[in-house]
Amino acid sequence: MSSLLKRGDLYTIGEVINQIRSEFEDISISKIRFLEAEGLLVPARSKSGYRKFSNTDVEKIRYILRMQRDHYLPLKVIKEHIEAINRGLIPENQPADKPKVPNSVIEFNPTSKKANIRVTKEELITNTGISEFDLLEAQQHGLITLLADKRHYDDFAIRTARVISSLSEFGLHPRHLKLMKSGSEREVSLIKQVVAPMAASRRPDAQEQAESMTREVSSLTNQLHAILVSNQLDKESL
């Protein structure tokens, strides 16, 4: 779905219709309300109870209407698409006679903030290339965990699975990597000790400062880790 609209904007149902009418001439308030009643849309509500649609909602409406108009998909099938999109998956870029339920996750920077993504086991394997055996082993060693619903994985699992999949090509599997997890836990404990005094401060900006300090110290420890490993490899190659 496109992202031409500005983020953060909210629209009334009338404003939504004005935005999409050029593409869908027969769009109406009752049509949008029907899509909401069928569970395909969940707009926010103002204090006075009026519907407020986000940019994401507008793009979902466009997607639903295109699937109906161009591919004659029934709402039941389109709802499966929307549920996948709500979990952070994206539709295929190439048009198809019978579009499949989205199963590709968005690409994100490894250093970016946590994304709101939920994928099934099958989607995780498809998007990362990790083998089912390595996934099971990664879960046994705590490298990858299921979400609380016991059905989905988050973006952290996706990032981890991609790295594990790449390392497996060099013969490194989760059982070889479990020491890295314990090392990271000790590193986090150290960072928390450093940040704790700021986090406990009564200053109005204490939380913001603590988060900034956490990111900075984490970045520095990651740099030190890379330097130490590189230096040790250089020594042993002499």
Q: Please check whether residue 5 lies inside any domain of the structure.
A: no
Q: How far is the C-alpha of 205 from the C-alpha of 225, rounded, in Å?
A: 30
Helix or strand (DSSP H, E) at 51? strand 51-54
Quick check: is 2 in a domain?
no
Looking at the structure, do residues 36 and 79 belong to the same domain, yes or no? yes
Host domain of residue 199: 178-238
pLDDT of amino acid 237 = 74
More confident residue, 97 or 124: 124
The answer to whether position 3 is within a domain reads: no
Residue 25 falls inside a structural domain: yes
- Average pLDDT, rounded, for the chain: 88
* Residue 226 belongs to some domain of the structure: yes
| pLDDT tens-digit map of 141-186 | 999 999 999 999 999 999 999 999 999 999 999 999 988 888 889 9
- For residue 45, what is the enclosing H or E element? strand 44-45
In a domain, 141, yes or no: yes
Residues 88 and 109 in one domain: no
- In this structure, are 143 and 208 located in the same domain? no
Domain shared by 15 and 35, yes or no: yes
Question: What's the pTM value of the predicted model, to 2 decimals?
Answer: 0.72
pLDDT digit string (tens) for 64-113? 999 999 999 999 999 999 999 999 888 876 556 678 788 788 665 555 56
Residue 105 is predicted with a pLDDT of: 80
DSSP H or E stretch at residue 82: helix 75-86
Per DSSP, the three-state class of 105 is strand
Q: What percent of the chain has pLDDT over 90?
A: 66
Q: How many domains would you assign to the chain?
A: 3
Of 99, 129, 147, which residue is a domain's last? Answer: 99
Q: For the domain that residue 72 is a member of, what is the CATH number? A: 1.10.1660.10
Please check the confidence at residue 115 and state whether its pLDDT lies above 60: yes
* CA-derived radius of gyration, the chain: 23
